[in-house]
Amino acid sequence: MKRKRRNHSAAFKAQVALAALKGDKTLAELAERFEVHVNPITPWKSQLLERASDVFATAAKRSASKGPDVKELHAKIGPLAMENDVLVAALGRMG
Protein backbone atom coordinates (compact mmCIF):
# COMPACT_ATOMS: atom_id res chain seq x y z
CA MET A 1 0.00 0.00 0.00
CA LYS A 2 1.26 3.44 -0.91
CA ARG A 3 2.14 5.83 1.91
CA LYS A 4 0.41 9.21 2.03
CA ARG A 5 2.52 12.15 0.88
CA ARG A 6 3.89 14.19 3.78
CA ASN A 7 4.37 17.94 3.91
CA HIS A 8 7.22 19.01 6.15
CA SER A 9 7.24 22.23 8.13
CA ALA A 10 9.85 24.91 7.59
CA ALA A 11 11.27 24.26 11.05
CA PHE A 12 11.72 20.57 10.27
CA LYS A 13 13.43 21.34 6.95
CA ALA A 14 15.76 23.78 8.70
CA GLN A 15 16.63 21.18 11.31
CA VAL A 16 17.48 18.59 8.66
CA ALA A 17 19.45 21.14 6.60
CA LEU A 18 21.47 22.23 9.63
CA ALA A 19 22.28 18.61 10.40
CA ALA A 20 23.39 18.17 6.78
CA LEU A 21 25.58 21.28 7.01
CA LYS A 22 27.43 19.87 10.00
CA GLY A 23 28.72 17.09 7.75
CA ASP A 24 29.29 14.58 10.51
CA LYS A 25 26.74 12.13 9.07
CA THR A 26 26.04 10.93 5.56
CA LEU A 27 22.84 11.76 3.72
CA ALA A 28 21.67 8.18 4.17
CA GLU A 29 22.17 8.39 7.92
CA LEU A 30 20.31 11.69 8.08
CA ALA A 31 17.47 10.29 6.01
CA GLU A 32 17.14 7.36 8.38
CA ARG A 33 17.35 9.55 11.48
CA PHE A 34 14.72 12.06 10.31
CA GLU A 35 12.62 9.47 8.43
CA VAL A 36 12.71 11.25 5.07
CA HIS A 37 13.95 10.26 1.65
CA VAL A 38 17.51 11.18 0.74
CA ASN A 39 16.54 13.32 -2.27
CA PRO A 40 15.04 16.40 -0.54
CA ILE A 41 17.92 16.85 1.91
CA THR A 42 20.35 18.37 -0.61
CA PRO A 43 17.88 21.01 -1.91
CA TRP A 44 16.94 21.94 1.67
CA LYS A 45 20.62 22.38 2.46
CA SER A 46 21.23 24.59 -0.58
CA GLN A 47 18.12 26.69 0.19
CA LEU A 48 19.39 27.24 3.71
CA LEU A 49 22.77 28.38 2.40
CA GLU A 50 21.17 30.73 -0.15
CA ARG A 51 18.76 32.35 2.30
CA ALA A 52 20.87 32.42 5.46
CA SER A 53 21.80 36.07 4.87
CA ASP A 54 18.09 37.01 5.02
CA VAL A 55 18.09 36.25 8.73
CA PHE A 56 20.49 39.12 9.39
CA ALA A 57 19.09 41.55 6.81
CA THR A 58 17.55 44.81 7.98
CA ALA A 59 13.81 45.34 7.75
CA ALA A 60 14.24 47.79 4.87
CA LYS A 61 16.20 45.27 2.80
CA ARG A 62 13.67 42.52 3.50
CA SER A 63 10.72 44.68 2.44
CA ALA A 64 12.56 45.82 -0.69
CA SER A 65 13.23 42.25 -1.75
CA LYS A 66 9.64 41.09 -1.24
CA GLY A 67 8.34 42.50 -4.49
CA PRO A 68 6.85 45.54 -6.19
CA ASP A 69 5.34 48.41 -4.24
CA VAL A 70 1.55 48.16 -4.11
CA LYS A 71 1.08 51.92 -4.27
CA GLU A 72 3.06 52.11 -7.51
CA LEU A 73 0.98 49.33 -9.03
CA HIS A 74 -2.29 51.03 -8.05
CA ALA A 75 -1.01 54.26 -9.60
CA LYS A 76 -0.43 52.44 -12.89
CA ILE A 77 -3.87 50.80 -12.91
CA GLY A 78 -5.76 54.08 -13.39
CA PRO A 79 -4.06 55.21 -16.63
CA LEU A 80 -4.10 51.69 -18.04
CA ALA A 81 -7.82 51.32 -17.32
CA MET A 82 -8.53 54.65 -19.06
CA GLU A 83 -6.44 53.63 -22.06
CA ASN A 84 -8.29 50.32 -22.21
CA ASP A 85 -11.67 52.11 -22.16
CA VAL A 86 -10.60 54.41 -25.00
CA LEU A 87 -9.44 51.47 -27.12
CA VAL A 88 -12.66 49.52 -26.48
CA ALA A 89 -14.72 52.55 -27.51
CA ALA A 90 -12.62 53.03 -30.66
CA LEU A 91 -12.99 49.38 -31.64
CA GLY A 92 -16.73 49.59 -31.02
CA ARG A 93 -17.04 52.43 -33.52
CA MET A 94 -15.00 50.58 -36.14
CA GLY A 95 -16.74 47.26 -35.98
| Mean pLDDT, contiguous 10-residue spans, the chain (95 residues) | 85 96 96 96 95 82 71 90 92 82
**Torsion over CA: 57, 16, 28, 20 (sign):** positive
How many domains does the chain divide into?
Answer: 2
Residue 11's domain comprises 1-56
User: Does residue 70 share a domain with residue 51?
Assistant: no
What does pTM read for this prediction? 0.59
- Are 44 and 23 contained in the same domain? yes
- Considering the domain boundaries, does residue 8 fall inside one? yes
- Determine, yes or no, domain membership for 61: no
Q: Are residues 19 and 49 in the same domain?
A: yes
Q: Is residue 11 part of a domain?
A: yes
pLDDT at position 20 is 96
| C-alpha count within 13 angstroms, C-beta hemisphere, residue 54 | 10
